[in-house]
Structure 1
Amino acid sequence: MHGLRGRERRRRGGAGALAGASPPAQGHAQGRALGDGGAGWGPESAPLVLRTLHQGGWTMSHTPGDPYCVGAWMSRNPTAVGPEELARQAYFTMRREGFRHLPVVEEGRLVGMVTDRDLRRPDLSNDPDGWNDDYRLSDDYTVRDLMTEKVLTASPKDPLERAIKTMQDARVGALPVLDKTGALIGILTTRDLMNALGAALAAKGEVLRR
Structure 2
Amino acid sequence: MVRAKDLMSKKIVSIGPNSSMLEVSQIMTNRNLKHLVVQENGKLVGILSDRDLWKSIRSDLVDSQHMELSLNSTQKVHDYMNWPVYVVSESTSVQKVIEEFLAQRVSAFVVENKKGEMKGIITIDDILEYFLGLIQDDEKTYHHESLY
Q: TM-score, normalised by structure 1?
A: 0.57
Per-residue CA deviations over 1:27-59 (Å, capped at 9, x if unaligned) read xxxxxxxxxxxxxxxxxxxxxxxxxxxxxxxxx
1:98 and 1:111, CA in 2 relative to 1: closer, same or farther beyond 3 A? same
Alignment match, 1:101: 35
Identify, as 1 or 2, the structure richer in strand: 2
Q: Distance in 2 between matches of 1:144 and 1:183?
A: 22
Q: Distance in 1 between matches of 2:109 and 2:38?
A: 12
SS across alignment from 2:88:
coil
Q: Distance in 2 between matches of 1:147 and 1:96?
A: 20
1:84 and 1:122, CA in 2 relative to 1: closer, same or farther beyond 3 A? closer
Q: Distance in 2 between matches of 1:156 and 1:191?
A: 17
Alignment match, 1:132: 59
Per-residue CA deviations over 1:132-172 (Å, capped at 9, x if unaligned) read 35x88322222122211212121110001111121123322
If asked which structure has higher relative contact order (CA below 8 Å, sep 6+), I would say 1
Q: 2:126 aligns with which of 170, 192, 200?
A: 192
Is 2:46–2:84's contact at 8 Å kept on the other side of the alignment? yes
Provide the identity percentage.
26
Q: Give the paired residue count.
A: 136
Is 2:113–2:119's contact at 8 Å kept on the other side of the alignment? yes
SS across alignment from 2:91:
coil
Q: Any gaps of 5 or more consecutive residues in structure 1?
A: 1-65, 124-130
Shift of 1:120: 2.5
Is 1:109–1:182's contact at 8 Å kept on the other side of the alignment? no
Answer yes or no: is 1:149 the counterpart of 2:115. Answer: no
1:199 and 1:120, CA in 2 relative to 1: closer, same or farther beyond 3 A? closer
Q: Any gaps of 5 or more consecutive residues in structure 2?
A: 61-68
Map 1:37-186 onto structure 2 (within 5 A).
Answer: 66=1, 68-121=2-55, 132-133=59-60, 137-186=71-120
CA RMSD in angstroms comes to 2.4
SS across alignment from 1:132:
strand
